[in-house]
Structure 1
Amino acid sequence: MIKMKDLTLGYKKEKILKNINLNVKKGEFVGIIGSSGAGKSTLLMSVTGGIKVFDGKFEVLNNDMKGIKKKDLVKLRKQIGIIFQGYYLVDRLSVLDNIVSGMLKDIPLSRALIKHYREKELKKAKELMEIVSIQKHSFKRCDELSGGQRQRVAIARALAANPKIILADEPIAALDQKSAKKVMNILKKVNQELGVTIIGNFHHIDVAQEYCDRILGINKGKIIFDGKGEELTEEILDQIYEDDKSYLSDSDDDN
């Protein structure tokens, strides 16, 4: 689904990621770890085509990302769902309305503005609410929900567009341990039962080890580890984080 070969990426004239070689297959759950500023978010968001390609080969869902046409990029982005740490929901709207907004590519704007949803759209929204266990709050405004509940709404909204890939940018960083576990269990369910490929950035190494099939360790714009969670040794973690020892306390942090 995603292929990178000898890839260098960045912004304007600045090269952030260098000589990246990566092949993500359909149905994988990939976690990215590394210090702040290592290039985790750049690698993640490059899948949407928003990062400049300097050198190498880069394909996403059979699209050549080097020089991709605008119309093809629009089509590609419709197949990618994104979940952010900050949720990015419309607080004054209900859970239902926020989820249906994820179907806007299939719903005319005129109908969306007056909230005139068809039966099939409501049915799909209800199914998604059940997947993320938020159906009891379908008519609540999103600003009345807890952080964990809001993130579950964000997952349902991302799924509303039938994505082939979901990018999760620090999806549990702002959540307590109990809420984080619920969100991660839902992401794993989406990955395993719906077959959606998921790639996420995680501060907590133990979370990545528990839920991800594969972990990428990044340091200074380079992938220096690509393997299973159980293969992460203290020596490898020292190579990924170097002098940044914050990951040691993160594993025991309830936040």
Structure 2
Amino acid sequence: MFYRGKYADGGDGREMAPKRQRTVDPGCSFYGSPSSSFMYNPAPYGYVSQPPLPPPFPVVRLRGLPFDCTEADVAEFFHGLDIVDVLFVHKGGKFSGEAFCVLGYPLQVDYALQRNRQNIGRRYVEVFRSKRQDYYKAIANEVSDERGGSPRASRAKSYDEGKDSAEHTGVLRLRGLPFSATKDDIMDFFKDFVMSEDSIHIIMNLEGRPSGEAYVEFENADESKAAMAKDRMTLGNRYIELFPSSHSEMEDAISRGR
């Protein structure tokens, strides 16, 4: 999975804030009286103040997740927080029970930590502070697995070949959408294609919240096949997977979310 953020490298929410510039009364006896030959100049010529550091990267690590855990489960676990990305960690081609969760704001990390040792299903989940470099290292490992010869990579390759050979009906399923994605965002993602808001269907889960999936109806099968060139391109901070679908599958998904 490929995601990006605009936060300081290595930030884990515990760095000391930059020290405030000390100001000293020029009349202080330590620096001499106003008539003294030595005078403290609080803002010497050419002094340039340092800009504030960017906020720490808002990511937490989860451990002890159920092995059938989904992104929607993690979003429900952190209900009320803005989820930018969920990256499940695999080892040897198998889900390790760990994940990284990128949040919308650094302040939300403290709220996420309050969910430590609460349950997803029958498993209690541990929540830890993490760092940007750990998150991106995990992404690199996932990419390496996909390029290597692991069973997981072989399944992924087979799945991609299935996408290429699938029959197109003019409908594509999108997976991995940001939970905050709107129809306008999806229209912008497919800006090279003609579509209306009515042709975009964002799928909701049973609680009435976005599931991270959507269906898009194109003018014809040739258009949907051409749109597959956008597979695994990014929308916001998320890379989006595209799958050939059908009107019946789309209607079933829409009805389940009602």
TM-based fold match above 0.5: no
**Structure richer in helix, relative to its length:** 1
TM-score, length of structure 2 as denominator length: 0.21
* Higher RCO (CA-CA < 8 Å; seq separation 6+): 1
TM-score by length of 1: 0.21
